[in-house]
Amino acid sequence: MELVEARKQFVAAWGSFGSNWGINRTMAQIHALLMVTTKPLAADEIMQELTISRGNANMNIRELINWGLVERVVVSGERREFFAAEKDIWKVARIIVRERKKRELEPMMRFLESISAVEGAEADVATFEKTISDIRRFGQQADQAMETMLKADENWLLGTLLKLMR
């Protein structure tokens, strides 16, 4: 398979995977394109490669920058903005875990805390409180697992996965 075709397939697949992970398809495709490109790309080049509008490209590039997955790069002699993605997949995974934790888990935990004290019929209250408590406990365990991953280095994670597979 030629590199051009393999790259197209990777970008398309990463876009599909991204939508399964809760990230919009175009955002994931831009991220994939920048990960497999050797030089930083301008928004125009991204638009042309992915056949997307300027607004779509700009909005998704901005969001990738907010996540910390993409950065602006200065190219000497150019007036246009260029963009490059983090290519170390371990760093990418940690960035995504940190952002998902901040955007999804932490708000859910705050919400559950805010509704944990209720009044009403004793049996109904007990059922409600137990359910909320179980979800909070699960969330706390997920938070601890995410924190462990964020603090771990690549060798620890790989070693742990290999032990689990034995």
Query: What is the Cα–Cα distance from 34 to 57, expressed in whole angstroms?
Result: 12
Question: What pLDDT does 96 receive?
Answer: 84
Residue 84 has pLDDT above 90, yes or no: yes
As a 3-state breakdown, the chain gives helix, strand, coil percent values, each rounded to 5, of 70, 5, 20
User: Quick one: CATH architecture of 3-85?
Assistant: Orthogonal Bundle (1.10)
* Residue 138 parent element (H or E): helix 122-151
List pLDDT tens digits, range 116-154. 777 777 777 888 888 888 999 998 898 888 888 777 765
If you ran DSSP here, which 8-state letter would residue 80 be given? Answer: S
When pLDDT is cut at 50, 70 and 90, the band that residue 163 belongs to is low
The residue that leads in pLDDT, 131 or 48, is: 48
Question: What pLDDT does 120 receive?
Answer: 75
Domain ranges of the chain: 3-85, 89-165
